[in-house]
Amino acid sequence: NNAHLRSLILEDNELRCLGCQQLLPIRLINNAINLRGLTQLTDALIKTGSLKILDLSGNRFEEKCGLQLRRLLEENRSIEELHVGHNNFREKGTIAIAYGL
């Protein structure tokens, strides 16, 4: 694990299917991702359409982040597992996520 990696750009590498499988799942556990960061991540993941497992546990997400995750789940139907434990969604954020399922 490289805790210092800030960007991974894999343009023009002909990864094909097998290479892409090695990049998944995405685990962003305990990274203190804020609403803006989650919005940017959501926008990027909506475009991919192939992510199956996403772990966002322990990022201190609040209610508004639940709305972003709802949007992600509604617009990217490839996600089979979403881990969001140890966050602070509260009731409204949790309900928003549930509506995205």
pLDDT at 4: 61
If one compares 3 and 76, the residue with the highest pLDDT of the two is 76
**Residue 49 located in a structural domain:** yes
**Residue 95 located in a structural domain:** yes
24 contacts 53 by C-beta, under 8 angstroms? yes
Q: How far is CA 27 from CA 7, 12, 22, 55, in A?
A: 15, 24, 13, 5
Domain CATH code at residue 86: 3.80.10.10
pLDDT digits (tens, 9 = 90+) for 33-82: 999 999 998 998 888 777 888 999 999 999 999 999 999 999 999 898 99
Residue 53: what are its φ and ψ, rounded to 5°? -130, 130
**Residue 77 located in a structural domain:** yes
> Which pTM value belongs to this model?
0.77
> Number of structural domains, the chain?
1
Domain residues for the domain of 81 are 26-100
